[in-house]
Chain A
């Protein structure tokens, strides 16, 4: 799979195919999520794509009523808040994502350590300019 560059665009293309991919350093074996082109451990750049199981654990979270524009466009507001958090995947690394399937009306009942599985959501893009922001993209999420 080396022909696919270790870029943000490649990661996003995989998400569009509902594939959750990380980069693995061929020199030292370190796993990078989000994928990186350069290994922070050995500074090598010999990477390979590897698919993750999608299983993980919630390690930090919040419930937000005033989100950034793409979340507002997606219908979230004070009356319809969303949960976003940091998930540690079973292979080791951590990533930020929207957390689905939790009781956002009672954040005090959401618990760190909750098992989650990878899921995918489609929203507009991150941009101040509307013509760019309206482009639909698939984002990583996790479901409790």
Chain B
């Protein structure tokens, strides 16, 4: 029988973290985005480090074969930042690629093989048209039984939303409240793809209409704007444009070291005290359509290893690729009961930046952007900065000794949950 309790062979700490700007990035490739993240990470290692210290590289990348017609992304990233001949590898697990890369790097250190490892991810997604990008993303479904019968990614999460609405009475307004919250957070993140509140978006649209001499729309509030199909069209019913994360270019990376060497690099390392990963069935094969079983399994592993519970976590970055995904995530992680409470959390302000349980203070995938192979590592960059009090304008006021990230691969066929501690 498999063991229930899992422990790392030795402790591992994050001593540096950085990311590229997220957005539509013209004239750069995946490896150059990764180099930008690496350059951003370097000054975050307070006491500095030598290139020679890095013993291996693990890079998450979901689809450069499709978007860039380029494989071997691990080696290309090693080459551009000057790590050759160190071993480098690319890890693909759809939208969880970089969390799995971080976890594999962590396991390599915990095994005793390496002391210092560079981990992260990169994704250049804006090279293809909307139609081909939809197709590329849908390759993360089971293309035999899901993609080929017509499911897209917005569509798979939309199906979960209809089941959630049917079972719990969740409304589209509940979902849109997640978008409003995450745009409020992301407006303070200079690296976000769309650093704007929904109100900012409304003002921009109004100004554009005036400029073009078109009838000036008059919305009384954010919800009225979001319910205006001329400005927020349906993508996959009930998912509208503002329920969906954008298609984003970006990269992120972290420097991981063995716990006993952490203080050589910084006085304030962030320790990874819990890690969990699980796989899951196709959507139609699951016992439930209103939660993600792999996320629950990964969370249980991470909480068990860390010896903490959901109530101990001060802030979390969760996988809000679609608004309904955040509603399911905060229940799967045990922060809220599944159903009404989780659906109402954003509207009630509990998950706001100044709420009792701040969720996605970076802006989340929704506003910061979702370069699929870089997303998990970028969640960790945010937590690293927040836990060290280095998040600038969007710094959460509470002292954050424990934080968590939740990263879903595809529609829940992979899930990674990790817990971080500042001592």
Interface residues in chain A, defined as those with a beta carbon under 8 Å from any beta carbon in chain B: 8, 34, 59-72, 76, 78, 82, 84-86, 93-98, 107-108, 112, 125-126, 128, 139-141
Q: How far is the CA of A8 from the CA of B234 in the complex (A)?
A: 33
| Stretch binding the partner chain, chosen from B4-12, B140-148, B250-258 | B140-148
Chain B interface residue count, CB cutoff 8 Å, equals 38
Contact A95 B145 (CB under 8 A): yes
11 additional contacts, CB 8 Å, given A94-B284, A112-B166? Answer: A61-B159, A62-B239, A64-B236, A66-B236, A84-B159, A86-B283, A96-B282, A108-B237, A128-B66, A128-B135, A140-B149
Min CB gap B293→A, angstroms: 13
Q: A60-B289, A68-B138, A112-B163 are in contact. Are A84 and B131 (CB under 8 A)?
A: no
Q: Which residue of B lies closest to A121 (CB)?
A: B149
Q: In the complex, what residues of B have CB within 8 A of residue A63's CB?
A: 234, 236-237
Q: Is B95 an interface residue (CB 8 A)?
A: no
In the bound assembly, the distance between CA atoms of A85 and B150 in angstroms comes to: 9
Bound: A19/B158 CA distance, A: 29
In the complex, what distance in Å separates the CA atom of A29 from the CA atom of B132? 42
Q: What separation, in Å, do the CA atoms of A107 and B159 have in the docked complex?
A: 12
Of listed A60, A62, A98, residue having the most chain B CB within 10 A: A62
CA gap between A125 and B162 in the complex, in Å: 28
| Least CB distance, B101 to chain A, in whole angstroms | 24
Given contacts A59-B289, A86-B283, A126-B143, contact A97 B235 (CB under 8 A): no
Which chain B residues border A78 with CB–CB below 8 Å? 233
- When C-beta atoms are compared, the residue in chain B nearest to A133 turns out to be B135
- A76 vs chain B, min Cβ distance (A): 8
Contact A62 B134 (CB under 8 A): no
Q: Which of A66, A72, A84, A112 contacts B151 (CB 8 A)?
A: A84
- How does the 8 Å CB contact mask read for B147-168 relative to A, with 1 for contact and 0 for none? 1111110111011101100100
Tell me whether A62 and B135 are in contact (CB under 8 A): no
Cβ of B288 to closest chain A Cβ, rounded Å: 11
Bound-state CA distance A42–B156 (Å) is 29
Cβ A84 vs Cβ B130 within 8 A:
no
A101 to chain B, nearest CB (A): 15
Question: Which residue on B lies nearest to A125, using beta carbons?
Answer: B148
Q: Check B162–A68 contact: CB distance below 8 A.
A: no
Q: Are A62 and B66 in contact (CB under 8 A)?
A: no
**CB-defined contacts of B132 to chain A, threshold 8 Å:** 69
Residues of chain A contacted by B283 (CB below 8 angstroms): 60, 86, 96
Q: Which residues of A contact B130 (CB under 8 A)?
A: 66
User: How far, in angstroms, from A61 to B148 measured CA to CA in the complex?
Assistant: 15
B148 to chain A, nearest CB (A): 4
Known: A62-B239, A69-B135. A84 touches B149 (CB 8 A): yes
Structural contact, B150 and A68, CB atoms closer than 8 A:
yes
How far, in whole Å, are A143 and B123 apart by their CA atoms in the complex?
39
Contact of B238 with A by CB under 8 A: yes
B393: chain A residues within 8 A (beta carbon): none
- Contacting pair A96 B145 (CB below 8 A): yes
In the complex, how many angstroms separate the beta carbon of B175 from the nearest chain A beta carbon? Answer: 13
Which residues of the other chain, A, contact B147 by a CB distance below 8 angstroms? 68, 126
A–B Cβ pairs within 8 angstroms, 25 of them: A34-B145, A60-B159, A60-B160, A60-B166, A61-B159, A62-B156, A64-B154, A64-B155, A64-B237, A65-B235, A66-B131, A66-B152, A68-B134, A68-B147, A68-B150, A70-B148, A72-B131, A82-B150, A84-B150, A96-B146, A96-B149, A107-B238, A112-B166, A139-B148, A139-B149
Q: Is B285 a contact of A62 with CB atoms below 8 Å?
A: no
Q: Quick check: A96 and B237 within 8 Å, CB to CB?
A: no
Which A residue sits closest to B285, measured CB to CB? Answer: A94
CB contacts (< 8 Å) of A82 on chain B: these are 150
Determine the distance from Cα of A128 to Cα of B133 in the docked complex, in whole angstroms: 11
Return chain A residues, CB-CB under 8 Å to B166.
60, 112
Kindly identify which residue among B66, B131, B239, B284 contacts A96, using a CB–CB cutoff of 8 Å. Answer: B284
Q: Which residues does chain B contribute within 8 Å of A84, judged by CB atoms? A: 149-151, 155, 159
Residues of chain A lying within 8 A (CB to CB) of residue B135: 68-69, 128
The answer to whether B131 and A62 touch across the interface, beta carbons within 8 angstroms, is no
Contacts of A128 in B (CB 8 A): 66, 135
Contacts of B131 in A (CB 8 A): 66, 69, 72
Give complex CA distance A78, B131 in Å. Answer: 12
Which of A34, A86, A94, A128 has its CB near the most chain B CB atoms (within 10 A)? A86
Assembled-state Cα–Cα distance A128/B137 (Å): 12
Q: 3 nearest interchain CB pairs?
A: A62-B158, A84-B150, A107-B237
Chain A residue, CB-CB nearest to B281: A40
B window 363-399: CB within 8 A of A: none
